[in-house]
Chain A
Amino acid sequence: MGDHHHGPAKGITRWLFTTNHKDIGTMYLWFSFAMFILGGTFAMIIRAELFQPGMQLVEPGFFNQMTTLHGLVMVFGAIMPSFVGLANWLIPMMIGAPDMALPRMNNWSFWILPPGFLMLASTLFMEGGAPAFGWTFYAPLSTTYAAPSVTFFIFAIHVLGASSIMGSINIIATVMNMRAPGMTYMKMPLFVWTWLITAFLLVAVMPVLAGAVTMMLMDIHFGTSFFSAAGGGDPVLFQHIFWFFGHPEVYIIILPAFGVVSQIIPAFSRKPLFGYASMVYATASIAFLSFIVWAHHMYTVGMPVAGELFFMYATMLIAVPTGVKVFNWITTMWRGALSFETPMLFCIGFLVLFTIGGFTGLMLSIAPVDFQYHDTYFVVAHFHYVMVAGAVFSMTAAVYYWLPKWSGRMYNETMGKVHFWISFIGFNITFFPQHFVGLAGMPRRIPDYALQFADFNMMSSIGAFIYGASQILFLYNVLATIIAGKKVTDEKVWDGAEGLEWTVPTPAPYHTFEVPPKLDPAHAHG
């Protein structure tokens, strides 16, 4: 290893054998975008079928496969890997480390993802079709009544889980051991903090998911009865295990998004983040609370009143640290020298829409009214406000914000703004009416509906096509930037940006911080 300043290898082997955190980050980001398009295609099929009442385009069984795969692909293929990609690119650069702590495992954790999803997608072409039991795969729907392809689904989940666990072990090992001298925990950028906490959540709950699917596998093939009442098991047990994983999972998705927003809002407000320490503690509190609220997803399962009350109050408690975060972001903007470039627009969009999603979440947390909302389109509207306007908007903001640093080229600002406004409007046309049809009683996961829901559903579908189309514009803008964007050479692409990643040359060289940087004490937690 004589020459440390070598560039990347050439050809396909560069990507197959790379241990470079930037290469792996790039692969994660492109892979997740491909999955975003795939999951989006499934969503378009769903919305096309729901454009009018009655059965028009697809069979009900296929519709169910679409809702299932849409959820699985978006959660495990699009959102989670996209934030892992971001973590790979940014965490070493933000803490002044030369690379991730375990570069070879990093390569492995990415490269098992595509085969995992190939396995999942291949079920579409199998006899009996793809999994059709919803992304929550409740037993016995996913055991006794599942298509034979469920076994492929189970192994796919095992593979994705293994990838996530390796990714998060890597992130924790990097953050704990590779920070530049002087970078204490309370000086880390908030994105690093939120990812550190997310990684701990992943290490704790991905094995629980692996356990749940392993039990399914044993019930289906080895004659056990974990979830079958006939043999002394209990289907409700599945829901408890699933949501013990599932609730922390939603924070696994949103906490890195909080981190991104906490980096971008100060940059375009030209003020340091308000309440840094309270942000860290709020993130940790949310992570802790996520473990004791799981049963709010199953209020209607027949819990005793004491249980309903406990989970209701514990859930409402989450509004406190989340409120702290929202107010901190607003206070950061207060009297700042604001400017509204595309990343900032997406962050403000995030702030407004995520807060709406948070409020509908509070409504759903109230056990007695949840009996009305449960399994309706109100729930669909709620979680798309937090997943799409929360996670996807912040991810989009992150791409616009850091793309110039990664590629050394500036994206087209006008096109970025157009993308934002089409996304914002399209998103709201899609999901806002779903609150109304949900409250009026339209159940989720159905291919047909009563006539009184027709207008709002048509509106929803039109919005979905607009939102979907705007992502093509996004893809075009990113490609055009990488190929022929205006060159930028300033280390600090944005005048208000703070943090170590803005001290390296633009575009970021293949190897950065091979010598640990000296920290400027005046610029704590950029």
Chain B
Amino acid sequence: MRLSADPTTDTVLKLVTVVVAMFAFVFVVMVPLYNVLCDALGINGKTSAQAYVAAPAAVDTERSVTVQFIATNNDSMPWEFRPQVTSMAVHPGAANDTVFFAANPTMQHMVAQAIPSVSPARAAEYFHKTECFCFNQQPLEGQSDTLMPLQFIVDQDLPKDIKTITLSYTLFDVTDRVSERIASR
């Protein structure tokens, strides 16, 4: 296909198209593709950001898996943040409940966002959260605290060699982000 009668102009127009396409490729292909791949393959320890709809399945009472909880604050996040229980033994297929404690020791209203990560990364796709405080941002007035719920199911198909799963949450301060959004409205 010729874009111009002049061969040089034709070459240049085609190459400019490639340049524009590659620039667009980064934004509209690479970024979404990366997230889709991480979600679909459960790589990078990423768990789904949506609530899992539990399929009815038998609870495998023969097997027991240890689930450990870790809570970390990002950078300068001043909140107190910890799991109520640090470890629990669960049966694959059974729904389990636990809570995380968070307290805002500052005098200001703040908003936090928890980002989960599962280790070993291979276990991420077998770890289903039916309810999680990480699905939403958590606002908290200054000098107050709260209990944040988590409900999860470990899949029956979890590979047999995985006996311990670690669920780690990092708490980020997103107050500025949220207030900017409100201010821009």
Residues of A within 8 A of B (CB): 101-102, 144, 165, 169, 172-173, 176-178, 203-208, 210-212, 215, 223, 225-226, 228-232, 234, 236-237, 240-241, 244, 302-304, 307
Contact = CB atoms under 8 A, between A and B. Distances in A.
B65 to A, nearest CB: 20
B121 A302 contact: yes
Contact of A169 (B12, B22, B43, B173): B12
Q: Is the interface of B mostly helix, strand, loop or mixed?
A: helix
Nearest to A305: B122
Given A241-B30, A303-B43, A211 B11 contact: no
A212 B34 CA distance: 14
A237 to B, nearest CB: 5
Contact of B22 (A176, A205, A229, A240): A205
**The 9 A-B residue pairs with the shortest CB-CB distance in the complex, in nearest-first order:** A211-B26, A230-B172, A207-B22, A207-B23, A173-B11, A177-B7, A229-B115, A169-B15, A101-B8
B16 interface: yes
Given A169-B11, A207-B26, A228-B172, 18 more contacts: A169-B12, A176-B7, A203-B18, A205-B22, A207-B19, A207-B20, A208-B30, A210-B23, A215-B26, A223-B181, A229-B172, A230-B172, A236-B44, A237-B31, A240-B34, A302-B45, A302-B121, A303-B43
Contacts of A102: 8, 12
Interface string B27-66: 1001100110010010111100100000000000000000
B26 A212 contact: yes
A223 B177 CA distance: 7
B11 to A, nearest CB: 4
Given A173-B15, A302-B121, A307 B23 contact: no
A204 B22 contact: yes
8 contacts: A169-B12, A169-B19, A207-B23, A211-B30, A228-B172, A236-B44, A240-B30, A241-B30
B18 A173 contact: no
Nearest to A101: B8
B93 to A, nearest CB: 25
A203 B15 contact: yes
B38 to A, nearest CB: 8
B34 A304 contact: no
Given A177-B11, A205-B22, A226 B113 contact: no
A234 B177 contact: no
A353 to B, nearest CB: 33
A503 B38 CA distance: 58
A206 B19 CA distance: 8
Interface string B170-185: 1011100100110000
B2 to A, nearest CB: 13
Contacts of B45: 302
Contacts of B122: 304
A443 to B, nearest CB: 23
Nearest to A205: B22
A212 B27 CA distance: 9
B86 interface: no
A304 B45 CA distance: 10
Contacts of A203: 15, 18-19, 22
A19 to B, nearest CB: 14
B99 to A, nearest CB: 22
Contact of B8 (A165, A177, A230, A237): A177
Given A169-B12, A210-B23, A223-B180, A230 B7 contact: no
A230 B11 contact: no
A294 to B, nearest CB: 11
B177 A229 contact: no
Nearest to A225: B177
A384 B149 CA distance: 53
B173 A234 contact: no
A230 B121 contact: no
Contact of B30 (A169, A210, A244, A304): A244
A230 B115 contact: yes
B58 to A, nearest CB: 29
A62 to B, nearest CB: 24
A108 to B, nearest CB: 13
A230 B15 contact: no
Contacts of A212: 26
Contact of A208 (B16, B22, B74): B22
Contacts of A173: 8, 11-12, 15
A468 B120 CA distance: 48
Contacts of B16: 169
A230 B12 contact: no
Nearest to B113: A230
Contacts of A302: 44-45, 121
A304 B177 contact: no
Contacts of A240: 30, 34
A257 B144 CA distance: 64
A77 B174 CA distance: 39
Among A207, A212, A232, chain B packs the most CB atoms within 10 A around the CB of A207
A211 B23 contact: yes
Contacts of A215: 26-27, 31
B86 to A, nearest CB: 22
Contacts of A178: 8
A304 B121 contact: yes
A212 B49 CA distance: 25
Contacts of A226: 31
A204 B43 contact: no
B43 A307 contact: yes
Contact of A304 (B25, B35, B41): B41
B177 A231 contact: yes
Contacts of B170: 229
Nearest to A145: B75
A288 B44 CA distance: 27
